[in-house]
Amino acid sequence: MRKIPLVEVSGDYYDIGYQIGEALKSNIKKTIKFPIKIAKEHQYFKIDYFVEVARKYFPYANKYFPNLVTELKGISDGSDQDFDMIWLLNIEEVLIDNYFDKCTSIVFREVDDKIYLYHNEDFEKYYSNNMAVVKANVNNKVKFLSLTFAGMLPGSSVSLNSFGLIQCINSLHTKDYRLGIPKNFISRAVLEVKNINEALKIIKLKYRASAYNHILIHKNDVVDVETTAVKYKLFSVKDKVFVHTNHYLHKKFFDNEDLLGSKWRYNSIFDIIKNSKVIDKNTFVNILSYHGKDFSVCKHVSKSISDVTLASVIVDSSDLKMYIAKGGPCKNKHEVYSLE
């Protein structure tokens, strides 16, 4: 059976990191080579240069989230990998951000106000067999369930916690990158908060280094937050269907990118919905499996693209479960992962 492995961890931040690192040791040994692969393709600089640049983000992460720096140290120790390389893997601002469009997300609000999240996690095919679902108990204070890249902090994909908060991340490309708090520390910190307002306080921190889109769901409320390094825009989602890919929806941020694949996915989803006689859960499962001629919602390995659909996720906001398919949903079944 094709299924993403479940890694159960508990304890303080170092314990959690160490257990993740130890459980995914063989996977991290592979993913740690990803920044090296990208650096080799760079025209001017070698890997040592990028390691040095990544170190400059350390004071910001350590000031605002020293607990998560400790968690990352645990991942390094548990996997027997050099901390500098684990650090570089997590500081996507340095090497990774400009190479990939990444994900597609849909929020569907039923007639009875029940909310569903549908998400395809797209990234470099290097990660095809190097993801896990982390089920964590943090100091007996909060539990979370998170689709996680081996070697990276949980939180950069789809996650939910024991307070019923759901977070879904989409990559965004901004021109105002700067030294600051790395985005993966911000998304990880959100996994421990009780509600959307607490999440927004973290997401809106002044010294952000770059950009993410955060879809936040709690009870019957849905908020979307688009960020750049210095700006942000909140959308209170009331529509029956909300879609986000990897370009900005806020008009003032439009000039920051030109992502044809992202815009094609966004427009195609609404075209499919418009032409559907019935709009229900099956509609969106089919959308996640959709293949186009030039671009696709469900991505497969090809010569023209390096990012593929690594996993497909469905979350029902009324329970503490994630339904995850390994690889594209066109061929693979969604398996249940429960926080309870």
Where exactly are the structural domains of the chain? 6-338
Amino acid of residue 250: H
Q: What is the pTM of this model?
A: 0.95
**What was the pLDDT predicted at 253?**
81
What distance lies between CA 151 and its chain's CA centroid? 14
Instruction: Give the Å distances, CA to CA, from 55 to 179, 230, 253, 268.
Output: 10, 21, 29, 41
Kindly report, residue by residue over 180-233, the tens digit of the pLDDT: 999 999 999 999 999 999 999 999 999 999 999 999 999 999 999 999 999 999
Question: Which residues does 52 contact at the CB level (< 8 Å), separation at least 6?
Answer: none
Nearest to 108 by CA among 235, 240, 285, 296: 240
DSSP string of 273-305, one letter each residue: HHT-SS-SHHHHHHHHT-B-SS-BSS----SS-
Question: Which residues does 173 contact at the CB level (< 8 Å), separation at least 6?
Answer: 97, 98, 211, 246, 247, 256, 257, 259
**What was the pLDDT predicted at 201?**
98
Instruction: Determine which helix (DSSP H) or strand (DSSP E) holds 8, and give its type and residue range.
Output: strand 6-11
Q: In what order do the strands lie in the sheet with 307-316?
A: 241-244, 104-109, 115-124, 307-316, 321-326, 335-338
**What was the pLDDT predicted at 54?**
97
Q: Which segments of the chain does DSSP mark as H helices, in order? A: 13-23, 25-31, 34-40, 47-55, 58-64, 66-79, 83-90, 92-95, 183-190, 196-203, 260-274, 281-288
Give a three-class secondary structure readout of 204-256: CCCCECCCEEEEEEECCEEEEEEECCCCEEEEECCCCEEEECCCCCCHHHHHH
Q: What is the DSSP letter of 126?
A: G
Higher pLDDT, 53 or 95: 53
Average pLDDT over residues 297-301: 82
Average pLDDT over residues 245-268: 82
Average pLDDT over residues 309-329: 95
- CATH match of 6-338 with 1.10.1660.10: no
**What was the pLDDT predicted at 165?**
99
**What was the pLDDT predicted at 258?**
67
Q: What is the DSSP letter of 2?
A: -
